[in-house]
Amino acid sequence: MSFIRFEDVTKVYTMGEVEVKALDGISFDIEQGEFVTIVGPSGAGKTTVLNILGGMDTCDSGKVFVDGAEISAYNSKQRVAYRRYDIGFVFQFYNLVPNLTALENVELAAQLSKNPLDPKKVLEDVGLSHRMNNFPAQLSGGEQQRVAIARAIVKNPKLLLCDEPTGALDDNTGRQVLELLYNTCRHRGTTVIVVTHNQAITPMADRIITIRNGKVKSSVKNENPIPVERIEW
């Protein structure tokens, strides 16, 4: 069995009388340690896939397996533990706690983890040793995103889930953030999944999953990923 498996997963959102089929029978496999991009147009279902994978949402039918466990069979208490201990999240708009310093933001995540890394060391690893005592508002967008990545990495998660992590950043800063995510994957062996509508990012991935209208259009293994510095968008 693959490290991650989606088996014919469906999800319908109901808003009043209107039903939106966000996922219409999604199946794919991801191997441990892969750097994966999930791409597709707006509304395709990318965030829904990520939310189900991260235990933030549940599916209506189908099965989801992560590291040998069927997470789609978890009750809400199990999902909370899974989310807390096994998953690191990185969002488009960082979601840092504004009245805590960079270091305190990372320490807070470490305190909630079972097997955390050293917060200072992780902030050094993301190139922020000189910014540890700054508050989020005193940091650039790229720096805030690096704090957010440090906060996700410090948990030592099985899976790093990133929703449009470069969406709010300029090209160069975006490239640095992608490089950091890529190095986390390669050096720590963490499975990293990046959701994006930006096709340009896909050549750096080991696997490219394309979603359209709630269905998997293709899932392709890329044998020759291109280094981040050669990516242009």
Ligand X SMILES: Nc1ncnc2c1ncn2[C@@H]1O[C@H](COP(=O)(O)OP(=O)(O)OP(=O)(O)O)[C@@H](O)[C@H]1O
Q: Rule CB under 6 A: choose which of 10, 27, 47, 183 binds ligand X.
A: 47
x-or-dash string of contact with ligand X, 3-22, rule CB under 6 A:
----------x-x----x-x
Structure tokens at 184: 């986390």
Find how far residue 31's CA is from the centre of its chain.
15
> Measured from the CB atom, is 51 or 190 closer to ligand X?
51
Contact between 42 and ligand X by CB under 6 A: the answer reads yes
Q: Rule CB under 6 A: choose which of 43, 127, 141, 225 binds ligand X.
A: 43
Binders in 161-200 for ligand X, by CB under 6 A: 197
Part of the chain binding ligand X (CB under 6 A), chosen from 41-49, 101-109, 127-135, 151-159? 41-49
CA distance 146 to 139: 10
Q: How far is the CB of 118 from ligand X (least distance, A)?
A: 34
Q: How far is the CB of 208 from ligand X (least distance, A)?
A: 15
Distance separating the N- and C-terminal Cα atoms of the chain: 36
> Measured from the CB atom, is 5 or 215 closer to ligand X?
215
SS3 (DSSP) at 47: helix
Q: Please, which residues have CB within 8 angstroms of residue 114's CB and are 6 or more apart in sequence?
A: 85
Q: How far is the CB of 128 from ligand X (least distance, A)?
A: 28
Q: Rule CB under 6 A: choose which of 4, 26, 37, 46 binds ligand X.
A: 46
Alpha helices in the chain (DSSP H): 46-53, 76-86, 102-111, 119-125, 141-153, 171-188
Phi, psi of 65 (to 5 degrees): -115, 140
How many chain residues are in contact with ligand X, going by CB under 6 A? 13
**Helix, strand, coil tally for the chain in percent (to 5):** 35, 30, 35
Which parts of this chain interact with ligand X (CB under 6 A)? 13, 15, 20, 22, 40, 42-48, 197
